Amino acid sequence: MTEKWQRKARKTVLESPWIRVHEDEYVLPDGQKIPHYYIWENSDSALCVCKVGEDNVLLTRQYRPGIEKFTVCHPGGRLESSDASPVSGALRELLEETGYTPQKITPLGRFGQIPAITPNRVHIFLVQCEPSSNQSAPEPSEKITVELVPILNLKEIIASGDMDCVACVAATYLAFSSIKK
Q: What is the DSSP string of 14-32?
A: EE-SS-EEEEEEEE-TTS-
- For the entire predicted model, the pTM comes to 0.87
Q: Which residues share a beta bridge with 11?
A: 23
> What distance in Å separates the CA atoms of residue 54 and residue 128, rounded to the nearest whole number?
9
**What pLDDT shows up at residue 125?**
96
Contact 135, 44 (CB under 8 A): no
pLDDT tens per residue across span 22-35:
999 999 999 999 99
Q: Which of 2-16, 66-80, 93-107, 137-151 has the lowest mean pLDDT?
A: 137-151
> What distance in Å separates the CA atoms of residue 177 and residue 77, rounded to the nearest whole number?
23
Neighbours of 136 (CB within 10 A): 16
Contact 118, 71 (CB under 8 A): no
> What distance in Å separates the CA atoms of residue 146 and residue 61, rounded to the nearest whole number?
6
Average pLDDT, the chain: 90
Which has the closest alpha carbon to 79: 117, 39, 47, 50? 47
SS3 state of residue 171: helix
List the Cα angle 37/43/149 in 5-degree steps.
Answer: 115
Q: How confident is the model at residue 175 (pLDDT cuts 50, 70, 90)?
A: very high
pLDDT tens per residue across span 92-114:
999 988 989 899 999 999 999 99
